[in-house]
Amino acid sequence: MNIFEGKVLIDGNWQDPQSGETLPVMDPSDGSEFGRIASGSAIDIDRAVQSAQTAMEGEWGKTIPVERGRLLHKLSTLILEHEDELTEMEARDVGKPLTQARVDVRACARYFEFYGGAADKVHGETIPYLEGYTVLTLREPHGVTGHIIPWNYPLQIIGRTIGGALTMGNSCVLKPGEEASQTALMVGELARQAGFPPGVFNIVPGLGEEAGNALIHHSGVNHLSFTGSTEVGALVQQAAAKNAVPVTLELGGKSPQVVFADADLEKALPFLVNASIQNCGQTCSAASRVIVESSIYEKLMNRLAERFKELRVGPAFRDLNCGPLISPEQKKRVENYLNQAKADGLNISAEGKIVEDAPAEGNYVKPLLIRDVPPEHAVAQEELFGPVLAAMQFSSEEEAVKLANGTPFGLVSGIWTNDGARQFRVAKRIKSGQVFINNYGAGGGVELPFGGVKLSGHGREKGFEALYGFSVTKTIAIQHGV
Ligand code: NAD
C-alpha cells in the first residue's frame, strides 16, 4: 500500500481526511479498482489553507529566490529518478499508453527544472518619476494559491501550475481530479523528500463539488488557478469574484488545423492524426477539426482514412495508439455524440480498431474520421473529449479563417501552408492563444505561454510569462528630495 493511500497531504504530513471517507481508484483499461484516495471535505481544505498561510509567515516566506530554485531543481531530479514508477502509475490511472505517460513524466520534471532556473530571474523595475522621487516595483507572491486540475494530464499540469506558483514564493493547495489523483500524490511525496517546508505544498484529493467547491470559496486563498471544463470554470470565476482574487482559467477547446493546398501533406499527416487522438482525444488542445482547401480535400481525406484504419486501441500497458477513455460515463458521452452524428447522416469515412483481447470492462471507443461535417453540427462545435476528427472544406482564405474561428473556443490552432505571407496573415486573424505553423504543439513547449481566448479561458500558464500571473506588483515611491 502507498503511504498516501486514502490520505491528504497537509502541513508536510500524510493524514486521514477529517471524514475518514475515501473514493475508489479505477483502472480505465479493465474497470478494476486498484486503490483508494481520500475524499477531502471543506474541513480538510480549511486546514490545508491554514497550513499554507502559516508557511508563508514562516521559513518559506523568507526563502530567497535562489533557494526556492534549488528546491524546484531537486524535485525535478527526484521526478526523473522515479520516472518508471510515475510512468506506470500515470498509464494505469489515466489509461494513457506508456509512451505518452513517459512523455508526461519528463515534461513534469522539465517544468520544475525550467521554473527552478527562473526563480532568481524575475525582477521589478525602476520608473522615472517626479524630481526628488525614486520609484521601484517588486514582484511579490500572492500568498496562498489554490489549484484545481483535471484527470487528463495530472503530471504535466502539476508541473506547470504548481511549478509556476512555487517559483514566485506562493504556498499551494492542490485539488487533483478525482478520476486520477495518484501521480499528484506521488509528486507531493517527492516534494516532501526534496525538502520543501511543511505547508508549502498541500494536496487534498476529493470530489469537485466538495473539496473543489470549498477551495474556490475559501477566503484565505489569494489566487486561483483552474484547469478543467468551461462549465466549472464559470463557477470558479464567480467564486473568485466574491473574494476579489485573481483567477487563471485553462478551459476546453475545439481546436482547428487549417490545411492549404500548397501544404506539405506528408509532413502534416502524422500531426493531423496524432493531435486528434492523443490521450484518446481527451486533450484540451486536441485538434479535433481539420479544415481543408477544396482542391486537395479528396486526396487528404483518402490519406487520413488510410491512417485512421491503422489505429489500434487497447489497454494502456499495450502501448498502442490509444488507451481507453477515463470512465464509463465519458464513454457514454462520446457514444451519444456519435449516435447523434449517425442519426444525422454524417459521413463516417474511417475508423480504427479495438484490439480483440481488450477487456470488456475497459472504456474503449474506436477513433473516427468524420468527413463533410456541417460547421454548425455539435461534432464540429462541442468538445467531445474522444478520438474523433471532424473534417470540412473551404474554397477561400476568408472562408478558412471564418470556419477556424467559428466555435465558442479559442485555445490552439494549426496552419499548414508554405506561403510565408499567408502564414502570418492567417495566424494573426485566428482567435486562439497559440498558433502553430507547419507543426502542431511544438513538442509540448514548457517554455511557451499557453492559455485561451473566448470560452477557452484567460490568463497564461507555462513559460516565463506565467510567473507574472503567479505574482503581484507592488509599487514603492520614495521621496528623498533633490
Ligand atoms: P471538470 O471541469 O469536470 O473538472 C476539473 C476539476 O474541477 C476536477 O478536479 C473537479 O473535481 C473540479 N470540480 C468539479 N466541479 C467543481 C466545483 N463545483 N467546484 C470546484 N471544483 C470542481 O473537467 P474534467 O472533466 O476533469 O476535465 C476535462 C476538461 O478540462 C475539458 O474541458 C478539457 O478541455 C479541460 N482541460 C483544459 C486544459 C487547459 O490547459 N486549457 C488542460 C486539460 C484539460
Give whole-number Cα distances, 457 to 253, 433, 451, 461, in Å: 9, 9, 7, 11
- pLDDT given for residue 210 in this prediction: 98
Domains defined for the chain, CATH in brackets: 8-251+458-476 (3.40.605.10), 256-445 (3.40.309.10)
Measured torsion, CA atoms of residues 400, 445, 191, 224, in degrees rounded to the nearest 10:
-40
Task: Considering the candidates 113, 178, 250, 383, report the single residue annotated as catalytic.
Answer: 250
The reply to whether 280 belongs to the active site is no
- pLDDT given for residue 443 in this prediction: 79
Q: Which residues line ligand 1 (CB under 6 A)?
A: 148-153, 175, 177-178, 208-209, 212-213, 216, 227-229, 232, 235, 250-253, 284, 383, 411
Under the banding of pLDDT at 50, 70 and 90, the label for residue 1 is low
SS3 225: strand
SS3 474: strand
Ligand 1, atom nearest to 230 Cα? 32
**Which are the contacts of 265, defined by CB distance < 8 A and separation ≥ 6?**
259, 296, 299, 300, 303
Closest Cα to atom 39 of ligand 1: 250
Position 99 pLDDT exceeds 80: yes
Question: Which mutation among 284, 381, 460 tests ligand 1's pocket best, with the greatest number of atoms within 8 A of CB?
Answer: 284
Under the banding of pLDDT at 50, 70 and 90, the label for residue 166 is very high
State the Rg of the chain over Cα.
Answer: 23
- pLDDT given for residue 199 in this prediction: 98
Cβ contact 48:18 at 8 Å: no
Under the banding of pLDDT at 50, 70 and 90, the label for residue 442 is confident
Between the CA of 179 and the centroid of ligand 1 the distance, in Å, is 11
- pLDDT given for residue 303 in this prediction: 98
The reply to whether 231 belongs to the active site is no
Cα separation of 257 and 394, whole Å? 12
Q: Which residues make beta-bridge pairs with 15?
A: 8
> Any idea which residue has 520534471 for its cell?
109
Under the banding of pLDDT at 50, 70 and 90, the label for residue 217 is very high
> Over pLDDT 90: what percentage of the chain?
99
- Type and span of the H or E element at 102: helix 98-118
Between the CA of 251 and the centroid of ligand 1 the distance, in Å, is 8
- pLDDT given for residue 2 in this prediction: 82
- pLDDT given for residue 32 in this prediction: 98
